Amino acid sequence: MALLAATAPAPRGAGVPLPPPKGANRHTYGAVDLGTNNCRLLIARPDDGTFTVLDAFSRVVRLGEGLGQTGRLSQPAMDRAVAALAICAEKLRRRHVWLSRSVATEACRRAENGAEFIERVRVETGLALEIIAPQEEARLAVLGCHKLLEPGDGPALIFDIGGGSTELILVEPGDAAPRIRAWWSAPWGVVSLTETEGREAIEGRDRVAAYERMRQRVFRSFARFIEMLPKDPQDIRLLGTSGTVTTLASVHLALPSYDRRAVDGLQVPIESMREINAMIAHMDLAERSALPCIGAERADMVVAGCAILDAILDIWPAERLGIADRGIREGILRALMARDGYIL
């Protein structure tokens, strides 16, 4: 866990560019985010105060599978991640990317063999993955999604439910971007929380009790952060960026398949989100798999995501939850482009 009660600056040397490859397009940028559960890529070009996406890629790799039990990245998990990263590397080359940054988060931070895995990735794909600290992860998430915050003068809580950890960032209005007042990294993400509780408990007859245990476990991990929250805040806002919130927003909209245009920027009433969490907590694996925007790929992890979200709603009583289908990758792109003089 980590706590900071001040604005989080970028680490010195973070994302220092390598010499651009031969034939690179000076206006094309790339970002790779390797998390505990997913591998994501975004390639974009600055465009009139924002950027236009040229290519994107996302794959569930479950890099952190079994990490809580062994303290190490398993061979199958590393193989899945390297295969996905090889696709990212090929896309970066094919698009003649001028400048890119590739980051790895909680799974690589925690694993005994994290550094060995990073070296394997460099040798086999050419990507220079950078294991970033939770502080930098929080900064990039805010930079990537803060434009979706509801207008207001009060404080806001931005959160990112990952595979191995959850980042909570308390922000207040600033000039160009919100100022970070405090952040917290809890060691519970959808993978780590699922494995700690155990799939048998989550899928068993007493699965609702298992859900409540998970919610309480996460809530307790927020204890020190709760002390940093303003007392009786007014005009508060809440914004979530992660596969959990975008998936649950899709369930809220009853979408037949995922549609980023419908989800990104959506505001969902908190009571509606609580009802969806409760519904999913009661469902078995087959019932969750039958929901179009959950499916078999997310059905085993979504319960833990709901429990983490419920714990967040317990500590920050907003009326609506903002949904962001953007985050670390977009934060990386904005930072790289800003360094080259583009105003986003």
Q: Tokens 């595979």, residue? A: 163
Q: Tell me, what amino acid is at 160? A: D
pLDDT higher than 80, residue 25: no
Q: How far is CA 39 from the centre of its chain?
A: 11
Q: pLDDT tens across 177-193, in order?
A: 889 999 999 999 999 99
Q: pLDDT tens across 286-326, in order?
A: 999 999 999 998 999 999 999 999 999 999 999 999 999 99
Q: What angle do CA 43, 32, 181 make, to 5 degrees?
A: 105
Count of beta carbons in the 10 Å neighbourhood of residue 204: 12
pLDDT at 9: 35
Average pLDDT over residues 148-166: 93
Q: Please tell me what DSSP assigns to residue 130.
A: E
Classify strands 156-161 and 166-172 as parallel, antiparallel or unpaired: antiparallel
Question: Edge-to-edge, what's the strand order for the sheet holding 50-60?
Answer: 50-60, 38-47, 25-34, 97-104, 130-131
Residues 42/53, Cβ–Cβ less than 8 Å: yes
pLDDT at 337: 93
Query: Which pLDDT band holds residue 268 (cuts at 50, 70, 90)?
Result: very high
* CA 237 vs CA 14, 138, 148, 164, 240: distances in Å: 30, 17, 11, 25, 10
pLDDT higher than 90, residue 251: yes
CATH fold of 27-133, please? Nucleotidyltransferase; domain 5 (3.30.420)
Q: Which residues pair with 2 in a beta bridge?
A: 185
Q: What angle do CA 291, 105, 244 make, to 5 degrees?
A: 20
Q: Tokens 């806001």, residue? A: 156
Q: How far is CA 222 from the centre of its chain?
A: 18
pLDDT at 160: 95
Q: Which part of the chain has CATH 3.30.420.40?
A: 27-133
- Output 127 or 341, whichever has higher pLDDT: 127
The terminus-to-terminus CA distance of the chain in angstroms comes to: 32
pLDDT at 14: 39
Q: pLDDT tens across 191-246, in order?
A: 999 999 999 999 999 999 999 999 999 999 999 999 999 988 888 999 999 899 99
Q: Which residues pair with 159 in a beta bridge?
A: 168, 240
Answering whether pTM is above 0.85, one says yes
Distance CA 40, CA 56 (A): 8
For 211, the token pair is: 């859900």
Query: Which pLDDT band holds residue 344 (cuts at 50, 70, 90)?
Result: low
pLDDT at 48: 83
pLDDT higher than 80, residue 16: no
Q: What are phi and psi of 238, to 5 degrees?
A: -140, 130
pLDDT at 3: 34
Q: pLDDT tens across 70-98, in order?
A: 999 999 999 999 999 999 999 999 999 98
Q: Does domain 136-324 have CATH number 3.30.420.150?
A: yes
> Quick one: how many helices (H) and strands (E) in the chain?
16, 12
Distance CA 280, CA 39 (A): 25
pLDDT at 5: 33
Q: Which part of the chain has CATH 3.30.420.150?
A: 136-324
Q: How far is CA 323 from the centre of its chain?
A: 12
For 52, the token pair is: 């236009």
* CA 239 vs CA 32, 213, 304: distances in Å: 22, 25, 19
